[in-house]
Structure 1
Amino acid sequence: MSAPKDIHAYLAEFEDIPGTRVYTAKRARQGYHLNQFCMSLMKAENRERWKADERAYLADWSLTDEQKEAVLARDYNRLLDLGGNIYFLAKVFSTDGLSFLQAVGTMTGMSPEDYQAMMVAGGRSPEGVRSLKEGR
């Protein structure tokens, strides 16, 4: 019987996947308030307050300064790094009038049409860099 794998080493492996952020318990803890803010936008009255003064609305939430700036910049990739969950972040881009396809397209640097075509064709190619630390 082999020795159990160190949990920290196992979780660190998730950070080695190029272009992917695995939503771990650590990210969930980090992004709790960010994701709660996003969920607040499900209510029409909150969306109206948000649209009227984004900075003032964010002041009511216990987000880090970095999270607040990433929200204001609509830097969705950074928000994922800071604990955002894409399904919660969808409340922000929906409030902005963007579809999921449009928002995710901006995250990949692709047009919505090119992103949609890639996904219809089966998604990202498995060829290319598969490990950040090994560069392969």
Structure 2
Amino acid sequence: MARTGRCLCGAIEFETELQSEDVGACHCSMCRKWSGGPYVEVQTGPLTFTKGEPTVYNSSDWAERLFCPTCGTHICYRTKDGSFHAVNAAAFDSPPTGTLALEVFIDEKPDTYAFEGERKRMTGAEVMAAFAGND
């Protein structure tokens, strides 16, 4: 499922392959600071930038966050080894058509919001264990 996307100002444009139409939400404190709320993302393959180059912020020893240096739109969270890409669901030209299928770092979610419905929910420890198992 090839998709294109762009930042708010259009300085960054990209192409990628969606792994699924479903979206996930991360409630970790870094994602909430970065996105202004839960980070709603779609897992994809690597991004090809067809216009502009994003700024890369090294947010941890294993991951980085990409954003537009002009308008600040957050584009992607990815692991440095390239094994995982979570693209801002709102950055796509055609929004994903799936459902909210996963919430991660549920133990860090503040009480000020909650999504309705049932889905898989993982604590921070469960997420870290799952990533450690991918080595």
TM category (shorter chain) comes to: under 0.3
Q: TM-score, normalised by structure 1?
A: 0.25
Instruction: Work out which of the two has the higher radius of gyration on C-alpha atoms and give 1 or 2.
Output: 1
Greater per-residue helix proportion: 1
Q: TM-score, normalised by structure 2?
A: 0.25
